[in-house]
Structure 1
Amino acid sequence: MKDIFQLNLRHLDALLVTGRSGSMSAAAREVNLSQPALAQAIAKMERVLGERLFDRLPDGAAPTAAGKVMMVRVNRALRYLVHGGRLVRRSARLAPLPHIERRVTMVQLRALIAVEGNSSYVQASELTGLSQPAVHRAVRELQDILGMDLFVRVGRIVRPTDVASRFVRFARLMLAELRAGVEEIGAMSTGEAGRVIVGILPSARAIFFSELLARFTTAHVSAAVKVVEAPYRELLTSLRQGDIDLIIGARRNPSPHREVVQEELYDDDPVVVGRTGHPLQGKTQLELPDLLAYPWVISAPGIPLRTKWEQIFLSRGVEPPRLRIECGSVLVTRGLLLQGDWLALISRDQFLFEHRAGTLTEIGDLGKELRRGIALTRRRDWMPTPLQADFVRRTHALARERREGVV
Structure 2
Amino acid sequence: MAKHPQLNLRHLEAIVTAGRLGSISSASEAIHLSQPALTQAIGRVEAQLGHLLFDRQPSGVTSTEAGRLLTARIERALAYVARGGQAVRRGARLPPLPHIERRITAGQLRALISVDQAGSFALASRRAGLSEPALHRACRDLEQLLSVPLLVRQGRTVQPTAAAVILLRFARLAQAEMEAGFDELEALRSEGAGRVTVGTMPLARAILLPQALARFARAYPMASVNVVEGPYVELLARLREGEMDLLIGAMRNPPPVKDIAQEPLFIDDPVIVGRAGHPLLAEPGFPFSRLLDFPWVIPATGAPVRYRWEEMFKDHGLEPPRLRIECGSVLVVRGLMLEDDWLTLMSRDQFLFERRAGLLKEIAGAGPSLRRQIGLTVRDDWRPTQLQTAFVDNFRTVCVEWTSGKAMDSEPFRYA
Q: TM-score, normalised by structure 2?
A: 0.95
1:262 counterpart SS class: strand
1:274-300 CA distance string (max 9 Å, x none): 111111124323423211001100011
Per the TM alignment, residue 218 of structure 1 is displaced from its structure 2 partner at its CA by 0.9
Give me the whole-angstrom Cα distance separating, in 2, the residues matched to 1:389 and 1:209: 16
Bigger CA drift: 97-106 or 19-28? 97-106
Which residue number corresponds to residue 312 of structure 2? 312
Bigger CA drift: 355-364 or 369-378? 355-364
Alpha-carbon contact 1:66-1:185 (below 8 Å) kept: yes
Match status 1:301 vs 2:301 = yes
Per the TM alignment, residue 122 of structure 1 is displaced from its structure 2 partner at its CA by 2.0
Residue type matched to 2:58 in 1?
Answer: P
Give me the whole-angstrom Cα distance separating, in 2, the residues matched to 1:129 and 1:197: 26
Give me the whole-angstrom Cα distance separating, in 2, the residues matched to 1:277 and 1:261: 43
Per the TM alignment, residue 3 of structure 1 is displaced from its structure 2 partner at its CA by 3.7
Give me the whole-angstrom Cα distance separating, in 2, the residues matched to 1:383 and 1:311: 38
1:318 counterpart SS class: coil
Which residue number corresponds to residue 190 of structure 2? 190
Correspondence list, 1:274-293, <5 A: 274-293=274-293
Which residue number corresponds to residue 176 of structure 1? 176
Per the TM alignment, residue 208 of structure 1 is displaced from its structure 2 partner at its CA by 0.9
Alpha-carbon contact 2:312-2:367 (below 8 Å) kept: no
Give 5+ residue unaligned stretches, structure 2: 408-416
Q: TM-score, normalised by structure 1?
A: 0.97
Alpha-carbon contact 1:5-1:106 (below 8 Å) kept: no
Alpha-carbon contact 2:195-2:225 (below 8 Å) kept: yes
Match status 1:382 vs 2:382 = yes
Give me the whole-angstrom Cα distance separating, in 2, the residues matched to 1:406 and 1:345: 20
Match status 1:398 vs 2:398 = yes
Which residue number corresponds to residue 246 of structure 1? 246
Match status 1:358 vs 2:358 = yes
Bigger CA drift: 238-247 or 4-13? 4-13
Residue type matched to 2:11 in 1?
Answer: H
Alpha-carbon contact 1:266-1:375 (below 8 Å) kept: yes
Correspondence list, 1:75-114, <5 A: 75-114=75-114
Which residue number corresponds to residue 8 of structure 1? 8
Alpha-carbon contact 1:285-1:364 (below 8 Å) kept: no
Which residue number corresponds to residue 161 of structure 2? 161
Give me the whole-angstrom Cα distance separating, in 1, the residues matched to 2:182 and 2:19: 17
Match status 1:340 vs 2:343 = no
Per the TM alignment, residue 95 of structure 1 is displaced from its structure 2 partner at its CA by 1.2
Matched residues, percent identical? 54
Alpha-carbon contact 2:5-2:48 (below 8 Å) kept: no
Bigger CA drift: 160-169 or 267-276? 267-276
1:6 counterpart SS class: coil
Bigger CA drift: 113-122 or 339-348? 113-122
Which residue number corresponds to residue 349 of structure 2? 349
2:405 counterpart SS class: coil
Bigger CA drift: 201-210 or 283-292? 283-292
Match status 1:200 vs 2:200 = yes
Give me the whole-angstrom Cα distance separating, in 1, the residues matched to 2:212 and 2:285: 35
Per the TM alignment, residue 162 of structure 1 is displaced from its structure 2 partner at its CA by 0.6
Give 5+ residue unaligned stretches, structure 1: none
Residue type matched to 1:404 in 2?
Answer: S
Match status 1:133 vs 2:130 = no
1:285 counterpart SS class: coil
Give me the whole-angstrom Cα distance separating, in 2, the residues matched to 1:13 and 1:4: 18
Give me the whole-angstrom Cα distance separating, in 2, the residues matched to 1:163 and 1:75: 23
The 1:161–1:33 alpha-carbon spacing in structure 2 relative to 1, beyond 3 Å, is same
Alpha-carbon contact 1:298-1:306 (below 8 Å) kept: yes
2:158 counterpart SS class: strand
Per the TM alignment, residue 227 of structure 1 is displaced from its structure 2 partner at its CA by 0.2
Per the TM alignment, residue 181 of structure 1 is displaced from its structure 2 partner at its CA by 0.8
Alpha-carbon contact 2:269-2:366 (below 8 Å) kept: no
Correspondence list, 1:203-222, <5 A: 203-222=203-222
Give me the whole-angstrom Cα distance separating, in 1, the residues matched to 2:48 and 2:296: 56
1:40-84 CA distance string (max 9 Å, x none): 111111111111001111011111110011111111111111111
Per the TM alignment, residue 225 of structure 1 is displaced from its structure 2 partner at its CA by 0.4
Per the TM alignment, residue 406 of structure 1 is displaced from its structure 2 partner at its CA by 6.3
Q: How well do the aligned residues superpose, as a CA RMSD in angstroms?
A: 1.4
Bigger CA drift: 396-405 or 238-247? 396-405
Give me the whole-angstrom Cα distance separating, in 2, the residues matched to 1:64 and 1:286: 70
Residue type matched to 1:376 in 2?
Answer: L
Aligned residue pairs, count: 406
Give me the whole-angstrom Cα distance separating, in 1, the residues matched to 2:218 and 2:80: 35
Per the TM alignment, residue 320 of structure 1 is displaced from its structure 2 partner at its CA by 0.9
1:51 counterpart SS class: coil
Per the TM alignment, residue 5 of structure 1 is displaced from its structure 2 partner at its CA by 5.1
2:93 counterpart SS class: coil
Give me the whole-angstrom Cα distance separating, in 1, the residues matched to 2:158 and 2:129: 19
Alpha-carbon contact 2:77-2:177 (below 8 Å) kept: yes
Per the TM alignment, residue 232 of structure 1 is displaced from its structure 2 partner at its CA by 0.6
Alpha-carbon contact 2:199-2:244 (below 8 Å) kept: yes
Give me the whole-angstrom Cα distance separating, in 1, the residues matched to 2:263 and 2:380: 11
Residue type matched to 2:75 in 1?
Answer: N
Alpha-carbon contact 1:116-1:165 (below 8 Å) kept: no
The 1:86–1:361 alpha-carbon spacing in structure 2 relative to 1, beyond 3 Å, is same
Per the TM alignment, residue 315 of structure 1 is displaced from its structure 2 partner at its CA by 1.4
The 1:5–1:186 alpha-carbon spacing in structure 2 relative to 1, beyond 3 Å, is closer
Bigger CA drift: 324-333 or 349-358? 349-358
The 1:367–1:333 alpha-carbon spacing in structure 2 relative to 1, beyond 3 Å, is same
Match status 1:44 vs 2:44 = yes
Bigger CA drift: 47-56 or 123-132? 123-132
Give me the whole-angstrom Cα distance separating, in 2, the residues matched to 1:172 and 1:282: 56
Give me the whole-angstrom Cα distance separating, in 2, the residues matched to 1:296 and 1:318: 15
Match status 1:324 vs 2:301 = no
Which residue number corresponds to residue 371 of structure 2? 371
Alpha-carbon contact 1:239-1:245 (below 8 Å) kept: yes
